[in-house]
Amino acid sequence: MSIDLSQFFEVFFEESFEGLDAMEAELLNLVPGEEDLETINTIFRAAHSIKGGSGTFGFSSVADFTHVLETLLDQIREGSRDLTAEHVNLLLKSVDCLRALLRALQAEQQPDLTEADELRVKFEEILGMRAASKAPEQAPETVRESSFNTYQIDFKPHHHLFKTGNEPLYMISELAELGELETQAFQDDVPDITNLAPEDCFLSWRFFLTTDKEQSCIEEIFEWVEDDADITITLCGGLFGDEEDVAVETVAEEAAPAQEAEPAVVKAAIDPKKPAPVKAATANAESTSIRVGIDKVDSLINMVGELVITQAMLSQLGEQEITEATIASLQEGLAQLAHNTRDLQENVMRIRMLPISFVFSRFPRLVRDISQKLDKQVELKLLGEQTELDKTVMEKLSDPMVHLVRNSLDHGLETVDKRVAAGKNPVGTVTLNSFHQGGNIVIEIMDDGQGLNTTKIREKAIKNGLISETDDLSDNEINELIFLPGFSTADQVSDLSGRGVGMDVVRRNIEALSGSVEVASAPGVGSTFTIRLPLTLAILDGQLVRIAEHTYIIPLISIIESLQIDISKVSRVGKDLDVLRLRDEYIPILRLYNIFNHKGAIETLDKTLLVVVESDNQKVGLLVDDLLSQQQVVIKSLEANYQKVDGVSGATILGDGRVSLIVDISGLIKLSGLRKPGSQELIIESKANLEAS
Amino acid sequence: MIAQHDDLHHKLNLEQDQDVKQFLTFFMAEEEYGVDILTVQEIRSWEEITVIPNSPDFVKGVINLRGTIVPIIDLRLRFGISAIEYGPLTVVIVLKVKLENACKIMGIAVDAVSDVYSIAEHEAKAVPHLSDSDNAQFVAGLVNVGEKMVALLDLQKTMDI
């Protein structure tokens, strides 16, 4: 019988990646000179688990590399070496390197070891020599007589030791690093071959260790197995001369029975050339799986329970003869069913919701690296990390956000000299904030830098032919220009931003998520980018409307009001555009039947209804024949099997099985030709002003 | 009975040949057309459809195919043949078409389905380029089945809208 270790690979990888994330986060908290012991311990423990795990699973490249890293951490932890900024940088780099190694192994590829080897050389330089041989070599010459102690260590593992993923050989070799080690293995407990369970550990050991290290160092080695073994460490006097030869022999012998006793584990561990088979399907598991809090699952189970009860009640009613009384309770039951279904739906959607800290967490590292490169001092503040967001939205949000943060660091924040000259705090601040507002999630990226340079943007826009010199634009309008294609404010193409991926891509990506991005900026004070996104892409509250015999859905969230048109307040602008004066505003009326080319709709204004909607801060009225019901609809893609349709954001299936199309307001405005090319302003506004005067 | 058996045997023999494919054929304006049967998902009767605004006239709209939105193309209009009233024989053949970078599910509305034939691909003859009719591009080849001629559709071209 042998264990197929490969079934644990995925768990190992997941845990290792988590460990690396933890290491990274803690490393970023480390300030050389004032390091917190607990932080270093956390990093050390993470590195140690990765080393142990990778050793067990036979990923020796990872184990070897982590080992040098761990040695350095150990010295820092003990205080025998001071932490420097160089160490932190090197450790961060090795976190990246380890991540790459593990990714490669996870994808069953041969990992590229060049970077690991380079880093290892650096580590070894810092450590002064090959770490493994350091302790024993140093020891004999210097302080042997004075502070050397010999410890007797009795190590009797419980039978299940291997199952917990621990490897005595590793512990023994770690002991050997501490000083001179003599080992005796006891095979008394090993049963005869018929009763021998190969996965159990039957051996026990007695070690005599002569070392200048403290007892705590020894205890540390056994830290991981103290619950799985009986360990006694006692200080004894001198060496026991005569037995020396015998004892050394047993070191060699001991390895052999140990191997026999644990064929599966050792074989996998010592044969790195032959990677154990990993199921191909698990390689991409990362992006397709989701971690869900147990509370969410519990509440789902409750709701399904309620649903089942309601269903049972309804089916019982269905079997009865239909009378007035049963109809009433039937209706009641249906109302309850609707209630349950909605609850269930909301909770199922919540499963897809993850806190935005998943995106935010990558920024401390990014900001650190970039600010070092740019030689700027930056403090990153994260607010509202627990705000929840749909997983799909989150994945697509990451790139635009990285771009915006890079921009803030590169163009927004000034260098230390400039900040001091301007009387500001030399340390710049970048704040990421996120909160819910209505059915949207709002993410703000704020910096207290120099703000957008409107003069420069204007010049650039004129040079690129985006606007003409005579255009009179407000500062806000100028700021908006940076979102136009073919615009980059960087004087020179720098390493960080301005790689041809401009703000227009950011805007396009966010608009593809049916969101919007805006910028507000004050010279010398800073700029704020605001991203607004729908909480989920899968469902929306819709108002069903009728145009001729067609049913369309208008997202409820964009509807401001619906009204009957007072014909006396309508004036005609230009050739064929009607404008309604509504309180103090002029609302252009879009005839949906015209835009969608449907025949048979009511064309006279006073017999139809106007749905006033808002998109991108512009209000327009949509002319419809009738308002139908409101309902939640599941958004289906039209593009999956067809193509993008202008003015339509998607489709859905109504209760009766028919397909209905969802109106895309901003696409509609574009389609109607109301918007001047290259401007957010509606043509109508200038005309309406004329009309009013 | 024996004849049927022979026929079946004949068909089986043909199927062992790698070159041979089965084609579902249908009628449109008296002509018979064929599509690879492996692309056919299902055959449905004509049903009410949701119109897509500003789409080409041959795109009749979309239907709900068990939760998936599937566009329906009127093949008559696609080929520039005059449209007819949809009748009880009008069917929608739902096809899975491999386009450049995606696999799309689309339906074609045709006058009536006909039969399934086993046709060796090498028997298909190229379409003669006699006219500059656009319709020739939709046909991958012509084959004779008994007395009849069947035009095999080039689905990639037909469905590329």
CATH at A255: 3.30.70.1110
pLDDT for A693 equals 41
ipTM over 0.90: no
Contact A653 B64 (CB under 8 A): yes
> Which residue from B127, B144, B115, B129 is spatially nearest to B35, judged by alpha carbons?
B115
Provide the domain count of chain A. Answer: 5
Tell me the residue range of the domain where A220 lies: 135-270
Distances (CA, A) of A18 to A12, A49, A439: 10, 11, 32
> Which residue from A426, A400, A432, A423 is spatially nearest to A413, judged by alpha carbons?
A426
Q: Which string of DSSP letters, residue by residue, matches chain B?
A: -HHHHHHHHHHHHHHHSTTEEEEEEEEETTEEEEEEGGGEEEEEE----BPPTT--TTEEEEEEETTEEEEEEEHHHHTTPPP----TT-EEEEEEEE-SS-EEEEEEEESEEEEEEEEEGGG-BPPP--S--GGGGGEEEEEEETTEEEEEE-HHHHH--
pLDDT for A243 equals 41
Report d(CA B26, CA A499) in Å as an integer. Answer: 54
- The end-to-end CA distance of chain B, in Å, is 47
Report d(CA A642, CA B69) in Å as an integer. Answer: 9
Asked if residue A576 lies in contact with residue A590, where contact means CB atoms within 8 angstroms, the answer is: no
Asked if residue B35 lies in contact with residue B153, where contact means CB atoms within 8 angstroms, the answer is: yes
Q: Which of A128, A153, A178 is the last residue of a domain?
A: A128
Query: B70 vs chain A: nearest CA distance in angstroms?
Result: 6
Query: B58 vs chain A: nearest CA distance in angstroms?
Result: 13
Report d(CA A274, CA A276) in Å as an integer. Answer: 6
pLDDT for A438 equals 62
- Mean pLDDT by runs of 10 across the 693 residues of chain A is 68 82 81 75 84 81 83 80 80 86 82 80 73 41 53 81 77 80 79 77 81 76 77 65 41 42 39 39 47 84 91 88 84 88 82 84 86 86 86 82 86 86 88 80 88 82 78 79 69 45 78 81 87 76 90 89 88 82 88 87 84 83 91 83 85 87 86 59 47 44
Which is more confident, B76 or A692? B76
> Is A79 within the bounds of a domain?
yes
Residues in contact with A690: Cβ distance below 8 Å, sequence separation at least 6, in sequence order: none
Is residue A507 located within the same domain as residue A526?
yes
For testing contact with chain A, the best of B50, B60, B100 (most A CBs within 10 A): B50
Contact A641 B64 (CB under 8 A): no
Contact B50 A643 (CB under 8 A): no
Domains in chain B (CATH in brackets) are: 2-159 (2.40.50.180)
A653 contact residues in B (CB cutoff 8 A): 64, 67, 69
> Is A276 within the bounds of a domain?
no
**Residue A682: which CATH number?**
2.40.50.180
Is residue A547 located within the same domain as residue A468?
no
A180 is catalytic: no
Q: Which of A481, A504, A534 is the last residue of a domain?
A: A534
Q: Which of A477, A507, A534 is the last residue of a domain?
A: A534
Is residue A219 located within the same domain as residue A181?
yes
Is residue A108 located within the same domain as residue A167?
no
A638 contact residues in B (CB cutoff 8 A): 52, 62, 69
Q: Does B98 touch chain A (CB under 8 A)?
A: no
Report d(CA A273, CA A146) in Å as an integer. Answer: 46
Is residue A479 located within the same domain as residue A500?
yes
Query: B28 vs chain A: nearest CA distance in angstroms?
Result: 23
Is residue A604 located within the same domain as residue A673?
yes
> Is A621 within the bounds of a domain?
yes
pLDDT for A251 equals 42
> Is A288 within the bounds of a domain?
no
Distances (CA, A) of A460 to A474, A476, A497, B89: 16, 16, 17, 64
Query: B78 vs chain A: nearest CA distance in angstroms?
Result: 15
Which burial class, exposed, middle or buried, applies to A198 when counting CB atoms under 10 A from its CB (0-12, 13-18, 19+)?
A: middle
Contact B53 A651 (CB under 8 A): no
Kindly identify which residue of chain B lies nearest to residue A656, measuring between CA atoms: B64
Is residue A451 located within the same domain as residue A394?
yes
Q: Does B62 touch chain A (CB under 8 A)?
A: yes
Contact A641 B51 (CB under 8 A): no
Tokens of B13: 């023999």
Is residue A423 located within the same domain as residue A528?
yes
Q: How far is CA B108 from the centre of its chain?
A: 7
A48 is catalytic: yes
pLDDT for A627 equals 92
> Is A379 within the bounds of a domain?
yes
DSSP character at residue A596: T
Is residue A362 located within the same domain as residue A490?
yes
Nearest to B106 among A595, A641, A657 (CB): A641
Is residue A553 located within the same domain as residue A467?
no
Is residue A143 located within the same domain as residue A179?
yes
Q: Does B71 touch chain A (CB under 8 A)?
A: yes
B63 contact residues in A (CB cutoff 8 A): 659
Which burial class, exposed, middle or buried, applies to A357 when counting CB atoms under 10 A from its CB (0-12, 13-18, 19+)?
A: middle
pLDDT for A562 equals 92
Q: Does A595 touch chain B (CB under 8 A)?
A: yes
How many Cβ pairs within 8 Å bridge chains A and B?
A: 63
The β-bridge relationship of strands A179-186 and B103-110 is unpaired
Q: Which string of DSSP letters, residue by residue, matches A637-693?
A: -STTTS---TTEEEEEE-TTS-EEEEE-HHHHHHHTT-BPTT-SSBHHHHHHHHHH-
Q: Which of A10, A254, A262, A407 is the catalytic position?
A: A407
Contact A638 B62 (CB under 8 A): yes
Report d(CA B136, CA A239) in Å as an integer. Answer: 98
Q: Does A641 touch chain B (CB under 8 A)?
A: yes
Q: Does B55 touch chain A (CB under 8 A)?
A: yes
The helix/strand/coil state of A580 is strand
Kindly identify which residue of chain B lies nearest to residue A637, measuring between CA atoms: B69
Is residue A492 located within the same domain as residue A367?
yes
In degrees, to the nearest 5, what angle opens at C-alpha A81 toward C-alphas A80 and A87? 155
Asked if residue A538 lies in contact with residue A632, where contact means CB atoms within 8 angstroms, the answer is: no
Residues in contact with A267: Cβ distance below 8 Å, sequence separation at least 6, in sequence order: none
> Is A336 within the bounds of a domain?
yes
Q: Which of A26, A35, A48, A444 is the catalytic position?
A: A48
pLDDT for B131 equals 60
The helix/strand/coil state of A374 is helix
Looking at residue A381, its amino acid is: K
| A 1-40: CB under 8 A from B | none
pTM score of the predicted model: 0.50
Report d(CA A249, CA A182) in Å as an integer. Answer: 9
Kindly identify which residue of chain A lies nearest to residue B67, measuring between CA atoms: A653
Contact A645 B52 (CB under 8 A): yes
